[in-house]
Amino acid sequence: MRIDQNFTEELIARAKRKGANAVDVVAVEGDSASVQVRLSAVDKLSKAQEKRLGLRVYFGGRSAGGSTSDFSPPAVDELVATTCALAEAIVEDPDSGLPESASLAAERPDLDLYDSSAVSMDQMIDRATRAERAALEVDPRLKNSEGAEFGSFAGRMVFANSHRFYGEFQSSNFSCSVSPIAIENGLMQRDYWYSVGRKVSQLNAPEAIGREAGHRTVRRLGARKVATCRVPIVFDPEMAGSFLGNLCSAVNGYAIYKGASYLIGRLGEKIAADNITIVDDGRISGGLGSKPFDGEGLPTRKTMVVERGILKSYLLDTYAGRKLRLSSTGNASRSVGEASSAGATNFYLAPGSATPDQIIGSVKRGLYVTELIGFGINLVTGDYSRGAVGFWIENGELAYPVEEITIAGNLKDMWLGVETVGNDLVFRGRVASPTVKIAEMTVGGD
């Protein structure tokens, strides 16, 4: 059964016959495939076709959601019946409901999100094998591997609601990653590198991914702890992206209205250093977070979240907007069958002018962070404490690798304390940042 406008209209009509006064439908379907190669031999192959249908019904302010992977008429009947029954058990919430009909997306811009080129299993195996081989050739100490992976996904997303909105778009995703292992003196280190894109042609060459993975892994050999101290911290772009991701969670409208963010009530105030400008842009051509309309059918757009240090906007869908007496920013994100939530599209820190070398060169004694582990972030207070891996900076140069240390501070102070933003912004995911230098944090070690 193909999900099209007739199907969604019929489904919405059925829910309305059960008494729902508003309804929306989300459906996704797609094909995915992945291969994993380890030490030049195929380790795993996986292939799938998936589909899922979600329904959300509103009886006045009472709403509920349901979903199924079975599209047969009896299963769809059951979906309608169960979801409507669920809504009746729920409490009235005056802020719930669909967005205003007039605000729904009128156009469906083509954002170049879909690549129809099929990559065969054999081609996928070839790319993963080349990437891993290139990684292991970087240095003789790279003697083992967790493997290399190539994955692809191509699918279609459909959204419709009882305001007669119907929209659909196709998207695809390709990725290649390698995780080699270096061994020296009986001790092992692992790192990885990857490339991801909407189109196969946007991926870096397997050899380039492999060389970077090999380089990143071998440079970790001989890592040691450092003494507990307070020093400047430089985040490489990947880890700066993780740090930016924390801010992205803190500006989420849901965290804000629930009182679960350290940024509540701060709109229009200075929350970061003057060199910080953060943007969410759902319409970047080919962007990994781009979509023509959001999970409620509203147009996606470009939102200035932070401008020269001033908090300009939260990320909102209709519901969080109503709770905060603000308008949706077109950031509704949907899981099939679930209520809308707010989420970033392409969320990035605008680049500065310093090169990464200049940034590292400006540090007399400090830490360059290339990996963070753990979940030690309290968004309510902004308290931040994570395990870190990286390099000790001595007189402006990377002196030696370090591990088994922590870095700690508070997100509020960290963002106000950003001294330099690098010029090296590259979109490698939906959240992207250039290199960032923070004035001072606590390093926990020996």
Residue 111 CB, shortest distance to another protein, in Å, is 26
State which residue, 46 or 170, has the beta carbon closest to another protein: 46
State which residue, 72 or 170, has the beta carbon closest to another protein: 72
Residue 153 CB, shortest distance to another protein, in Å, is 13
Residue 348 CB, shortest distance to another protein, in Å, is 24
State which residue, 67 or 358, has the beta carbon closest to another protein: 67
Spell out the SS3 assignment of the chain. CCCCHHHHHHHHHHHHHCCCCEEEEEEEEEEEEEEEEECCEEEEEEEEEEEEEEEEEEECCEEEEEEECCCCHHHHHHHHHHHHHHHHCCCCCCCCCCCCHHHCCCCCCCCCCCCCCCCCHHHHHHHHHHHHHHHHCCCCCEEEEEEEEEEEEEEEEEEEECCCEEEEEEEEEEEEEEEEEEEECCEEEECCEEEEECCHHHCCCHHHHHHHHHHHHHCCCCCECCCCEEEEEEECHHHHHHHHHHHHHHCEHHHHHCCCCCCCCCCCCECCCCCCCEEEECCCCCCCCCCCECCCCCECCEEEEEECCEECCCECCHHHHHHHCCCCCCCEECCCCCCCEECCCCEEECCCCECHHHHHHCCCEEEEEEEEECCCEECCCCEEEEEEEEEEEECCEEEEEEEEEEEEEEHHHHHHCEEEEECCCCCCCCEECCCEEEEEEEEECC
State which residue, 282 or 401, has the beta carbon closest to another protein: 401
State which residue, 165 or 257, has the beta carbon closest to another protein: 257
Residue 22 CB, shortest distance to another protein, in Å, is 15
Residue 390 CB, shortest distance to another protein, in Å, is 13
Residue 249 CB, shortest distance to another protein, in Å, is 14
Residue 52 CB, shortest distance to another protein, in Å, is 8
State which residue, 255 or 359, has the beta carbon closest to another protein: 255
